[in-house]
Amino acid sequence: MDHSLNAGAEDGRRTLDIPTIGLFALVTSTGLIGVPLFGYVHGYTRLDWALAGALYLISGLGITVGYHRMISHRSFRCPDWVKVAGSWATENSALKWSASHARHHARVDQEEDPYNATKGFWYSHCAWFFTKNPYRTERYAPWLREDRLVMWQHRWYVPFLLSGLALPFLVGYISNGWIGGVGCFMLAGAGRTFLVLNSTFCINSVCHLWGSQPYSRSNSSRDSWWVSLITLGEGYHNYHHTFPRDYRNGPQWYNVDPSKWLIYVLSKIGLAEGLVRCNPGGRAGIRPRHPMAGDFSDIAGESVAAANPRWQQKRS
């Protein structure tokens, strides 16, 4: 799989991404057929289930807290290890993930939106990555290339990814030999990966097609409480698109947002600072919002331009 940012001409032509399609087919068939079949024949141990749950939380929070709220939107500051915790989610490097996400915010519901929900459920859920992106994604997150840790993780992404799959096998093997290793890999490796991927995909699809729009009708984003249950708080998507820099996706105390709770706890023990909070009493209105590619102040903050003079020069 190509882990470099697309820098080709923006001619709108799309070609099939065969390696990505093959990887997706393998993960999906293993998750839907292999995992249940192995469980029926051999069964899974408590260790398998416990490790699957733990890795679901680690990889899921690595995406929601690390890739999304910290790197993409700079909603808070935290130790650098948080930036690489999403490697085990099999959702690409922080560099590619965050650049694509910034493009989604800047071009939501337009042709350049990577998971454009106006093209239907299946396209926004998973079919969008079956073709190679014809647009220059890197221009939507120029500050990422200034982050040495993000670039380091991008270069070593594959070993990071494989370590998240090797760990369950090693733990199972140590506990119960080869069958234990395969069983733990199937449930906590392949099965967990399938669930994490599809929970994230629900944000791109379900949260742009069904749900409420209490904060803004300027785009297709919607709030869905049940998606928040499986995505560790990412389901309050209408709020997020209205106030993308807020470290909270669910601003109310009763909103199920474990990612928000984790960031808040980290701030109380001195491991996070600079938490950005927006006023949910404001409304964005119903007018379409289509910022120019290069205006990221509402996506990642004015501090991005201040910290990157070369980017600031490009904007002027």
Q: Which of 4-8, 68-72, 95-99, 174-178 has the lowest average pLDDT?
A: 4-8
Query: Any residues with CB less than 8 A from the CB of 308 and at least 6 apart, and which?
Result: 142, 143, 146
How far apart are the C-alpha atoms of 299 and 73, rounded to whole Å? 6
Query: Any residues with CB less than 8 A from the CB of 178 and at least 6 apart, and which?
Result: none
The answer, yes or no, to whether residue 296 has pLDDT greater than 80, is: no
What tens digit of pLDDT does each residue of 128-160 get? Answer: 989 887 776 667 778 888 888 999 999 999 999
Query: Any residues with CB less than 8 A from the CB of 214 and at least 6 apart, and which?
Result: 223, 238, 239
Q: Which of 27-41, 74-88, 124-138, 242-256 has the lowest average pLDDT?
A: 124-138
Closest CA to 258 of 290, 287, 283, 234: 234
Mean pLDDT, range 55-63, rounded to an integer: 96
Mean pLDDT, range 246-271, rounded to an integer: 95
Mean pLDDT, range 111-124, rounded to an integer: 93
Query: Any residues with CB less than 8 A from the CB of 40 and at least 6 apart, and which?
Result: none
pLDDT score at 145: 87
